[in-house]
Structure 1
C-alpha cells in the first residue's frame, strides 16, 4: 500500500482516501497502481459491503501530477500507451468493482479526478466543489476516462466540456448527472453516511450486482477495444506537436501557442 493512499475499515464499510494533500491528491503512476491494487483487494473481500472514495486536504483530486506529466511528455508513444492503459485499468476496476461505491467530493475534481467520480455508483459533492475536464488546454483529451464520464453526463454535455475545458461548479455537476446530490460542506459526511446506511440495508448481492445489470444493458460493445483505442489516442496526442506544446506551456506556466489572446 502506497503512503499516498489510506485505508480505513469500520465494519463492512471501507474508506479509501487519496492522501497527497500537498499536491491536491494528484495522480502519479504509484498512486494509480496503489489505488488499483487496493480496490482489487476490497473487491475480493467478502466482509466489505460498501467502499467510500475520498481525498485528504483541500481537494478530492486535481488530476495528473505535474512531475508525472513532465516525465510522460518526454516519453515515447509506447510508454505513453502503457501508462494510459494503467489508468484505464484503474477506472475499469473501480467502475466494475463488485461492491457499491460512494464518492465523497470536495474541493477540486479535475481530469482523472472527474473520472473517479464518474466511476463511482453514488457521488455526493460539497457546495464549493469545482470540476473540470481541462485536458484540451494542454492539447490533449480525457480519452481514457471518456467512457465513464460520457455515461455519467451524456454525449451532449461531454462534447461541450471536453472541448472547452471550462471549470464548472457543484450545482452544474448535479444538473448534468456527474453528482447525485450537493450539500453544504459541513453536511457532506452526514450525506455520505446516509447513502452508506441505505446501501447496508439493501441485499448485499443485489446491491453489488446492480451496476453489472445496468452495465450489461447499457454497454453493448467491446470494452477491451474501447480501452485500447482510447489509450492509443491519448498516447498519440501526448507525443503530437500540439500535445507537446500544450504540456510545455503548462509546465512553463505560459499560454500555449493556440490560446486566444484576450
Structure 2
C-alpha cells in the first residue's frame, strides 16, 4: 500500500501523506517512503519546489505508537527536508500534533487554513518533544513555545503564525499558497538552492550539535514506565494515572 501520494504540475511536486486511517501518523513505513520520495525530488531537474500536504482531516498525528520509526530515521527525515536543495512547503488543512509539528517546522515555508489546529502533546503521554526540537526550537518564539510544550494544549493557526511555526494562514489555503508558488517559479534553481542554504544554516547547527543527545533522550523516555502508561492510556482512550 502506497503511503505517499505524488502529483506534479508546473515544476511543483506535491507529496501527500496518504494514511488517513492512522491520521498520517509517522510510522516506520511512512517515514521511509517519504524519505524515498524526497530523494527522487532532489534528483529531478523538473522539480523546482516540493509541497508537502495530506489526505484526511489530519496533516500528521505524530509518531505511530504501534509502529514508531527509529529516532535516527526521524532525525534523518527532518534533516533531509532541511538540506534538500529545493524549497519544501507545508500545506495544511487540518490537525497537526506532536511529531507532525517537527515535520512542519522542517519545511522552509508553511501555510494552513484557519480551521487548522496544533498541539505538542508529548508531555501528556510521559515523553518530551525531543527530536522535533531540532527543527522547532530554531524557528519558534521561545516564550510562546514554553507554554505550548509544557501544557500540550491546542492552539489555532493565528497563534501558529504569531509564533513562527506558520508562514501564513487563510480561509482558502490554496489562495494563500499560489502567490508563493508563483514566486518560486520565477526564481532560478541555483538562486533558490543557495538562498535556502543561508536560511537553514542555524537549523543545521542544531542538528550537528544536538541530534545525538536528543535521539538518546527520545529513546530513553519512550522506554520509561511513565511513557508506557501514557501510551497505553492514549490507546485505551482513558486518562493516564497522573492526571488530576
The two structures have a TM-score, normalised by structure 1, of 0.88
Shift of 1:192: 1.5
Q: Which runs of 5+ in 2 are unaligned?
A: none
Query: What is the rounded CA distance, in whole Å, between the counterparts of 1:156 and 1:210 in structure 2?
Result: 28
Query: What is the rounded CA distance, in whole Å, between the counterparts of 1:155 and 1:236 in structure 2?
Result: 25
The correspondence of residues 66-215 of structure 1 with structure 2, limited to 5 A, is 66-68=65-67, 83-184=70-171, 187-215=172-200
Q: 1:143 to 1:169 in 2, by over 3 A?
A: same
CA RMSD across the alignment: 1.7
Query: What is the rounded CA distance, in whole Å, between the counterparts of 1:222 and 1:17 in structure 2?
Result: 27
Query: What is the rounded CA distance, in whole Å, between the counterparts of 2:150 and 2:206 in structure 1?
Result: 25
Which residue in the other structure is 1:232 paired with? Answer: 216
User: Which structure has the highest helix share of the two?
Assistant: 1
Query: What is the rounded CA distance, in whole Å, between the counterparts of 2:206 and 2:25 in structure 1?
Result: 30
Shift of 1:63: 1.6
Shift of 1:246: 1.2
Shift of 1:8: 0.8
Mean Cα deviation higher: 52-61 or 207-216: 207-216
Which residue in the other structure is 1:16 paired with? Answer: 15
Which residue in the other structure is 2:57 paired with? Answer: 58
Q: Which runs of 5+ in 1 are unaligned?
A: 70-81
Which residue in the other structure is 2:6 paired with? Answer: 7
Shift of 1:66: 4.3
Query: What is the rounded CA distance, in whole Å, between the counterparts of 1:166 and 1:219 in structure 2?
Result: 25
Aligned partners of 2:89 and 2:109 also within 8 Å: yes
Per-residue CA deviation, residues 117-176 of structure 1 (Å, 9 max, x unaligned), is 111111111010010110110001111110211122133222222211111111111111
Query: What is the rounded CA distance, in whole Å, between the counterparts of 1:220 and 1:212 in structure 2?
Result: 9
Aligned partners of 2:79 and 2:207 also within 8 Å: no
Which residue in the other structure is 2:40 paired with? Answer: 41
Which residue in the other structure is 2:29 paired with? Answer: 30
Which residue in the other structure is 1:79 paired with? Answer: none
SS at match of 2:140: helix
